[in-house]
Amino acid sequence: MRVWLLKNIKRVLRKLKRESHIVRKIFAFILSLAITIYLHQVKKKTDDSRHIFQECWQFLLKDKFFIFLFPLVENPFQLNYREMILLQLVKKMQHAGIPYFPKIMPVELELLHKLIQPAVSALVVSVHNGLALTTRVISDLGRSVTTISSDPYITSTFIRSGIKCPINVIKNDRYCLAFLRKAISNADVICCDVDFYDSNGRYVYVSPALFEYSARFNIPLYFAKYEVMDDGCVSLSLKESIPSVKADNNIESFIKFVNSSPDSTRELSINNFIRY
């Protein structure tokens, strides 16, 4: 009897899990469709991409319907409301043929200039947000950038982010750290999102691989995070890590740094079983 009961409970839980995933996809579709409809209404009034963005942005930022939908939609990257709206709006504008890219404002300019020194390689780690803004900022400043990714649509992410320079992409597999050595010997800046998904598709784990690589080979390590402001602009914050032989110390500092913004509440933890 107990065995039968356990089997049936597990079956019901699996069904609920599948249905919950489907429901979140449905709400995500509704959110996406509603943004598209409003965008096309605004587009009829003007062709100015900045004006279109600002009018849509201010409406979406305060609309109670969208705010209500937000907690119900699929959100694998654990984005906050402004991050989600920015990503969706940029996607929809570009799909509609409206040229617009997020405006980025670096906060720590001195640290950024230190990071982009010629002939010096560095690792810059961040978390996924659907864009490649760190890569854009650094490549726009003239540095050669390498990233590690298994995303087959990474080129679309580069285009969406407004990246104009060629980016070296290393496939995320067991051999990628070997290819990474060549990029570092070429003094590339390595920009990489280091969070990974769990069995539910949520990005909750942080891989220690690049943190360990930095500690082992004494490569400068920087943390990067973004905050979407009330006007839709994105502020870039950087932090230089403290050299440490223990990668876990820097991973914990990185997680605290990512969640130091008032609106950021990502559930992140170290996963020592994830290796590139």
**pTM score, two decimals?**
0.87
Q: What pLDDT shows up at residue 122?
A: 94
1 Cβ partners below 8 Å, 6+ apart? none
Burial class (CB in 10 A: 0-12, 13-18, 19+), 74: middle
Q: What pLDDT shows up at residue 133?
A: 95
Q: What pLDDT shows up at residue 8?
A: 53
Q: What pLDDT shows up at residue 119?
A: 82
Residue 225's SS3 state is strand
If you search the block for the tokens 């914990």, which residue do you land on?
252
Gap between the Cα atoms of 216 and 130, Å rounded: 30
Contact 251, 272 (CB under 8 A): no
Q: What pLDDT shows up at residue 247?
A: 82
Q: What pLDDT shows up at residue 244?
A: 72
Per-block mean pLDDT, blocks of 10 residues, the chain (276 long):
48 50 81 91 93 95 90 91 95 93 92 87 95 95 94 93 95 88 93 92 92 92 95 95 81 94 85 57
Gap between the Cα atoms of 224 and 272, Å rounded: 22
If you search the block for the tokens 């914050």, which residue do you land on?
237
Q: What pLDDT shows up at residue 199?
A: 85
Instruction: Give the burial string for 209-242 (b: 16+ CB within 10 Å, else e).
Output: bbbbbbbeeebbbbbbbbbbeeebebebbbbebe
Contact 48, 196 (CB under 8 A): no
